[in-house]
Amino acid sequence: MILVTGAGGFVGGVIARMLRARGDEVRTVARNDYPALLALGCTHVKGDLADAAVARKAVEGVDAVIHVAAKAGVWGKASDYESSNITATQHLLDAAAQYGARRFVYTSSSSVTFDGSDAVHANESSPYPTRYLAHYPRTKAEAERRVLAANGKRDLVTCALRPPLIFGPGDPHFLPRFVQRAKAGRLAWVGAGSEVDVTYVDNAAHAHLLALDALAGPAPKPAGKAYFISQGTPVKTEAWVGELLADLGVRPVTRRVKLPVAYAVGAVLEAVWWLFGLAGEPAITRMIAAQLGTSHHYDLTAARADFGYQLLVSDADARRRTIEFLREELAAGRL
């Protein structure tokens, strides 16, 4: 049996469906109930993984863990990110060691190595930064460290995957936010143009299954390692997003802001939100400005060599499916 955390969400849901489609027994854990997962034949544990007892209940009797659940985003309380991303991960690692789960695949993020500057054709030798621009990458990096450090303890083998900018049907954050802001006339390009890696959700999920299977061998290559995964071909941000907006009939983005200006505005807004405890999140933060205004794409050599990563869904099919999803969201008034 395989435990999938975050299966009620975007990436975790696809992973659970793929596992069930190939005949694996799947257990899920989340704070809420998800009838669609039960309809798939998954068993479910209801609770918060920040509670060690919930983690133990979820892990007991499983052979492997795919840990996808996390608090995402670029704004919020440090304690919330630490509880969801660090404490929950540590509880799962402790429970896996206690109950003898053999394999542990962690959904990390490419942002764990993002220091605010360009990262062109970067690979896994890129160091963790000495400081982060948001709590999300900081806590994801700490959780990743713990997952990799747990490799080899009590026969547990672990690895981490670092997908950038996941998109596709069901996307709750990335492209829907671009569409909403463009519709409202509140979207601007930052800097002189950038190239970034993106990851279609089915390809991200497929990578998790490949890594999980590779950890099962007698001398698993991925053990104790982190890997970048993506579509493998960087996109020019403005052209890629601009073409999607055009296909959706959304007004083109014409405004442009210099990166230092966007970064400074983000810093000021963060300070205002923090000082006055304002609800919601700033329109722009330092992290958003830096990500929009810099290039970051990655070398996939290690993932291809160690667990045979390759695209399950082509760029063209990924784009077509995503457009269909976004059109449905617009028609239903959800965007």
- Give me the mean pLDDT over the 130-150 stretch: 97
- Give me the mean pLDDT over the 303-319 stretch: 98
Place of tokens 């460290």: 145
Confidence at residue 154, expressed as pLDDT on a 0 to 100 scale: 86
* Total count of residues recorded for the chain: 335
Looking at the predicted structure, is the pLDDT value of residue 139 above 90? yes
d(CA 126, CA 115): 10
What percent of the chain stands above pLDDT 70?
100
Torsion of the alpha carbons at 314, 236, 334 and 188, rounded to the nearest 10: 180
- Give me the mean pLDDT over the 34-44 stretch: 94
For the chain, which domains are there? 2-167+199-231+296-312 (3.40.50.720)
d(CA 246, CA 127): 38
- Give me the mean pLDDT over the 274-282 stretch: 91
Element (H, E) at 43: strand 43-46
Please, which residues have CB within 8 angstroms of residue 90's CB and are 6 or more apart in sequence? Answer: 143, 146
- Give me the mean pLDDT over the 151-174 stretch: 95
Ranking 2-6, 79-83, 192-196 by mean pLDDT, the lowest is: 192-196
Mean confidence (pLDDT) of the chain: 96
| 3-state SS class at 157 | strand
pLDDT tens digits for 195-237?
A: 999 999 999 999 999 999 999 988 999 999 999 999 999 999 9
- Give me the mean pLDDT over the 149-165 stretch: 96
Q: Could you please report the per-residue DSSP string of 84-102? A: IIIIHHHHHHHHHHHHT--
d(CA 24, CA 212): 12
- The residues that are catalytic are 136
pLDDT tens digits for 75-116?
A: 999 999 999 999 999 999 999 999 999 999 999 999 999 999
Q: Which of 35, 38, 30 is nearest to 9 (CA)?
A: 30
DSSP state, residue 103: E
d(CA 127, CA 129): 6
Q: Dig out the tokens for 54 from the structure.
A: 């919930």
Q: Dig out the tokens for 31 from the structure.
A: 């704070």
